[in-house]
């Protein structure tokens, strides 16, 4: 017999993932409220053998419970050792190898919404769904203030996931059926990241993966709108290309952002899990 088995894990009523068949160790979803069963959940869910269970727990535990408000916003960028996320022509497939990509899909499966800037949607025409691990497709959101993206972009593919097109107020787009258009106020073409998150929270989307690109992650970071930043550093030197972050220039080292960081080995890549919660503004 085939049936759907839903695990609510983060907050009451919030679906983490649905299985066609329940894994044997998850007979009682309520048990996922405890640390040991969360550990067991991760072990079973991501049992591809690439990481030991203790490593999975160490990576994903910090994003399990929001600390500032009811939202959890995680930025991610895959970069070279010299801090590049794409070549000068904008090509980024693939800076990360299998381990880094698996990690990205694990993030998509564990958070409920993936957000990208229109630069990424235009350059990569990404699907933004979950393919390399088990899990539910997240809602997909593109920040596109001027409405530049095509209605035929792959991110709008109707596959059961929610799809949201964020534009500036007054911009008209021909949204495909089922795509929600969200118009937000913009100043000088910029929408406040806080307004974006608050709008998503109002639609029940509170677990956000900000998947790039550089400009989008930089704006959220600068606005204090990230709880965590996952930088996945690949053993590559590019020596040119697009920088992973673009923040206002500083003159003195004491103005630089110094972070609480945990590092994790992902195959031959290193995940820097940066805790930005001390500077995160309250949203919802
Ligand atoms: N290695 C990786 O992990 C990774 C991940 C993602 C992307 N990439 C690469 O990164 C490149 C794209 O990055 P990118 O920095 O050029 O572009 P991006 O961050 O994807 O998109 C930036 C654009 O999105 C819109 N936007 C984002 N936040 C906004 C806000 N708060 N208010 C208003 N508009 C906002 C603006 O559109 P307008 O320009 O219309 O104002 C902005 O110029 C591509 O080459 C892609 O392949 C790499």
Decide: 85 in ligand 1 pocket, CB within 6 A.
yes
Cα-to-centroid distance, 219 and ligand 1 (Å): 10
Angle at 83 between CA 110 and CA 190, to 5 degrees: 70
Q: Which two tokens stand for residue 110?
A: 């564990």
User: 110 and 60 in contact (C-beta within 8 Å)?
Assistant: yes
Separation between Cα atoms, residue 144 and residue 217, nearest integer Å: 14
Q: Which two tokens stand for residue 119?
A: 């630069």
Cα-to-centroid distance, 187 and ligand 1 (Å): 17
Please identify, by atom number, the ligand 1 atom nearest to the C-alpha of residue 96: 1
In this prediction, residue 7 carries a pLDDT of 40
**Alpha helix positions (H), the chain:** 35-45, 53-60, 98-110, 118-124, 193-202, 214-222
Q: Is 249 exposed, middle or buried (0-12, 13-18, 19+ CB in 10 A)?
A: exposed
Please identify, by atom number, the ligand 1 atom nearest to the C-alpha of residue 246: 15
In this prediction, residue 21 carries a pLDDT of 37
Strands 72-80 and 207-212: parallel
pLDDT in tens, 26-50: 333 333 445 456 677 777 666 666 7
Decide: 100 in ligand 1 pocket, CB within 6 A.
no
Exposed e or buried b per residue across 29-38, where buried means at least 16 C-beta atoms within 10 angstroms of its C-beta: beebeeeebb
pLDDT in tens, 197-249: 999 999 999 999 999 999 999 999 999 999 999 999 999 999 999 999 999 99
Helix (H, G, I), strand (E, B) or coil at 84: strand
Cα-to-centroid distance, 197 and ligand 1 (Å): 16
Q: Is the peptide bond before 129 cis (omega within 30 degrees of 0)?
A: no
To test the pocket of ligand 1, the residue of 145, 185, 200 to mutate (highest count of ligand atoms within 8 Å of its CB) is 145
Residue numbers of the chain with a pLDDT score lower than 50: 1-33, 35
Decide: 212 in ligand 1 pocket, CB within 6 A.
yes
Q: Which two tokens stand for residue 180?
A: 């929600």
User: 269 and 57 in contact (C-beta within 8 Å)?
Assistant: no
Decide: 162 in ligand 1 pocket, CB within 6 A.
no
In this prediction, residue 18 carries a pLDDT of 42
- pTM for this model (two decimals): 0.89
């Amino acid at each position: 017999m085939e049936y759907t088995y839903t695990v609510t894990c983060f907050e009451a009523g919030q679906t983490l993932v649905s299985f066609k068949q329940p894994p044997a160790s998850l007979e009682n979803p309520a048990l996922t409220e405890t640390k040991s069963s969360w550990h067991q959940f991760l072990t079973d869910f991501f049992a591809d053998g690439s990481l030991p269970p203790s490593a999975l727990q160490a990576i994903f535990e910090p994003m399990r419970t929001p600390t500032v408000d009811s939202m959890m916003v995680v930025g991610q960028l895959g970069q070279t050792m010299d801090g590049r996320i794409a070549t000068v022509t904008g090509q980024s497939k693939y800076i990360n190898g299998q381990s880094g990509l698996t990690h990205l899909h694990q993030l998509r499966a564990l958070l409920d919404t993936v957000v990208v800037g229109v630069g990424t949607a235009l350059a990569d025409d990404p699907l933004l769904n979950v393919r390399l691990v088990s899990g539910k497709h997240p809602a997909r959101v593109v920040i596109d203030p001027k409405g530049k993206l095509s209605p035929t972009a792959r991110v709008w593919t109707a596959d059961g996931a929610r799809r949201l097109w964020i534009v500036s107020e007054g911009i008209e787009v021909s949204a495909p059926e089922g795509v929600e258009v969200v118009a937000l106020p913009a100043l000088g073409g910029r929408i406040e990241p806080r307004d974006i998150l608050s709008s998503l929270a109002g639609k029940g989307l509170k677990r956000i993966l900000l998947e790039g690109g550089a400009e989008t992650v930089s704006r959220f970071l600068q606005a204090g709108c990230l709880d965590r930043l996952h930088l996945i550093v690949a053993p590559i030197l590019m020596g040119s290309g697009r920088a992973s972050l673009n923040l206002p220039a500083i003159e003195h080292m004491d103005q630089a952002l110094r972070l609480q960081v945990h590092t994790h080995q992902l195959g031959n890549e290193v995940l820097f899990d940066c805790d930005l919660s001390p500077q995160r503004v309250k949203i919802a």
